[in-house]
Chains A and B, each alone.
Chain A
């Protein structure tokens, strides 16, 4: 038994299955016919902590042997992969043709592309390059019954039948198991680097972000972090309360012009300090930011906020004030242009479970007051009982979601009881 197959401390009671290809995956699923059996598809196990706690599960369906780049048509800027390939392996192979997939996620050496898509993992390459779901142009999925289905195809524009792949990105493997994906690719920028600006207030950070939003700078990625996160990640940055990291890329002249614009804009902030990192140092910094959840203690809490750029302002301030008030440490990583934020509350004392449950519910309330949504991604396993990590989905949508689940997995074979719920399956 590998540790990676433990979910909230629970191991599969029937065993591990490692399919080598789609046919084997199909056979495995069609052979599990006993009612009530629960199968959990697992990629790199980097995001298995997300979701409600299962009382038990039967089979770990480990897709890590389905790890091949099946086709890379570089002249078409497309590729087809098996879902168990790691992000690191895929990007390395694409890099040989000076291309990349505009999808990033924490721990790319372990994280598989299937798991990244299924769990809608947060990433930072979204300012200019959009959401990871927009990179998917085709998908093969094995249904809980073992039926192999596909939608889309290896072309970049397609309205032929329903765009079924959409259901599986962020579907946490509850409607089927992703087996192969076609992606559109992006040429690697000829030059990349990161511009760092330190601010003394959150207000300045947000203002600067808005100015970038209004300028002609097109960052590949942009994130802001508070002092606690800077310390946690041990980032060698200008002394400041808040740090903004702006990753830019492009051809030489366009790259230089973007740097000039940024330097000019930052000149209006008298106390701000700047730094510039060339590609290698920039890459190392972004690796830390990307993997920041790995720096926390086991007893930590991480949450993910979905909002709009302007609503994030009030939300960030309110959460920060509240956590400080109760004497805990809040580290934040904000993507102001995209309207998302991740936060990390470290070393939550185990003896104060009641207080902590109240705390996570209170943060939920703060999000609702700011017309935003929170999905808790990491909670100590004990906190999960009786608390819905997912936040609230509107009733009209939830009705359709239940109907989809009943339609495609009527026996609730896949990931039963983990998705969008804290009680029974949706």
Chain B
């Protein structure tokens, strides 16, 4: 965004204040700094941050932005880690922090209607007394918001058995780029017409701004069993995962952490992980008591084939929470090992775990950068976290190159670029690893079907550099009609 556009936005600030109120427009540099990044590498400052509290006000902001050709980036808690919520082109950041109300809980029909700024864990806590919960549980669930989860189609440890965000959203109220307020889907589990709900989920805030969400609630299980299994090597742990899935078992969660993660988690929260182990598996089963017991016996038998150092079963909810505290706190704990970490998010077929982790280890040894491996192993979602120091010259460039190499390995093994954090800014230039120009042009047209001005979270998801001529051309043709000379 050029200086002239920046000035134009500043001219609009009085009008923005009229829409949302004086206290809810931030343009002081110190305030804007908080919105410059999402915990990963990329950074970008908005010209102004607006905090609306209703869909109507969002609609007014979007109309104002559209009539002045100003980009708008919606932001939840900023925990996405792929740069999706960063205002790379300046413009307006639309913070959903004030839209944080749980509007309705319908126990009979098992749904809740929430605003996008509701913190993920708060919803499950709110409905727990009704014997219900909301299944998607990203590791950042104490901070991340359900609106942000929709943008990234977030998963979490328990999505192995219960599915990711898209499997739990029934409908959404959205504001389109032209300010129209409408619903995609409602409270029903099925319907007619194109699945606009489904296509918007995971679209990284590029198609519409979500202002209300109807989510499916599940019955809390009768019984939960959490087991910690430690192995001498990460290869043994990976082989155990492949064995479990290959035997047709789908636990509620099947997580893996390597020795770096064990060390960090132990240092930070004292979760009781064995520090000498090469890797641990955190396995959780839930459901009917009988079902859990039958399955846990089979899983134990499979794991024993790979010579576990220890199999420990949480005996009560406190011990269970302690085991999970290590897993859920491990990313923050990596700060004990290095000043910075760069989390890579790729997914591979589960049968390729051993092979891919071996290659990642080779990269670590070759490059000299430690890589802590944290995996939603049951669904093949890897989070190799490269440890580095951003103050050291060359470190950022080096770890970005390592991240790209790891993603290439994921794709070459039949996997994909992102399991749950999205493409954002971070991986947009790697999209051609997975998709042809025709694939990307087809996706790019989708955005044009929603808005031709490209003002909602522009410059995300698709590659920006050379070689993207077809995408630009497809967009241009869609704007001016077929037959136009580009």
| Interface residues, chain A, with chain B CB atoms under 8 Å away | 73-78, 98-99, 120, 126, 130-131, 133-134, 143, 147-164, 166-167, 169-171, 175, 186-188, 210, 213-214, 216, 218, 250-254, 256-258, 306-311, 338-340, 372-373, 375, 390-391, 393-401, 403-404, 406-408, 410, 420
Contact = CB atoms under 8 A, between A and B. Distances in A.
A420 B188 contact: no
A257 B290 contact: yes
A157 B196 contact: no
Interface stretch (B46-54, B179-187, B262-270, B323-331): B179-187
A160 B416 contact: yes
Closest A-B pairs by Cβ, 6 of them: A396-B182, A187-B248, A166-B198, A254-B291, A253-B290, A75-B246
B41 interface: no
Contact of A396 (B183, B219, B420, B461): B183
B348 interface: yes
Interface string B155-167: 1000100011011
Contact of B416 (A130, A153, A218, A393): A153
Interface of B: 106, 108-111, 152-153, 155, 159, 163-164, 166-167, 176, 180-184, 187-196, 198-199, 201-203, 219, 221-222, 242, 245-246, 248-250, 287-291, 293-295, 347-351, 376, 379-381, 414-423, 427, 431, 434-436, 438-440, 442-443, 445-446, 448-450, 461, 478, 482
Contact of B446 (A73, A76, A155, A164): A164
A210 to B, nearest CB: 7
18 contacts: A75-B246, A147-B438, A151-B443, A155-B379, A155-B380, A157-B155, A159-B422, A163-B201, A170-B193, A216-B222, A218-B287, A250-B291, A251-B295, A254-B288, A338-B190, A339-B188, A340-B189, A397-B196
Given A153-B414, A187-B249, A339-B109, A164 B348 contact: no
B190 A407 contact: no
Contacts of A210: 108
A408 B194 CA distance: 13
Nearest to A307: B188
Contact of B380 (A130, A157, A420): A157
Given A257-B289, A373-B192, A134 B442 contact: no
Contact of B242 (A75, A134, A148, A308): A75
A276 to B, nearest CB: 18
A157 B181 CA distance: 30
Contacts of B250: 77, 186-187
B132 to A, nearest CB: 10
B347 A157 contact: yes
Contact of B110 (A74, A213, A396): A213
Given A77-B250, A399-B180, 12 more contacts: A147-B438, A157-B164, A158-B419, A161-B461, A171-B195, A257-B291, A258-B288, A310-B108, A390-B192, A395-B182, A398-B193, A401-B196
B349 A306 contact: no
A186 B249 CA distance: 9
A401 B436 CA distance: 25
B449 A155 contact: no
A401 B376 contact: no
Contact of A162 (B182, B202, B291, B478): B202
Contacts of A310: 106, 108-109
Specify which of A77, A186, A391 lies most central, judged by the most chain B CB atoms within 10 Å of its CB: A77
Nearest to A215: B219
B449 A407 contact: yes
A162 B415 contact: no
A227 B32 CA distance: 66
Contacts of A154: 349, 414
Contacts of A147: 438, 442
B416 A155 contact: yes
Given A310-B109, A396-B181, A401-B194, A159 B199 contact: no
A59 B89 CA distance: 48
A99 B478 CA distance: 44
Contacts of A73: 349, 351
Best-buried of A77, A162, A253 by chain B (most CB within 10 Å): A162
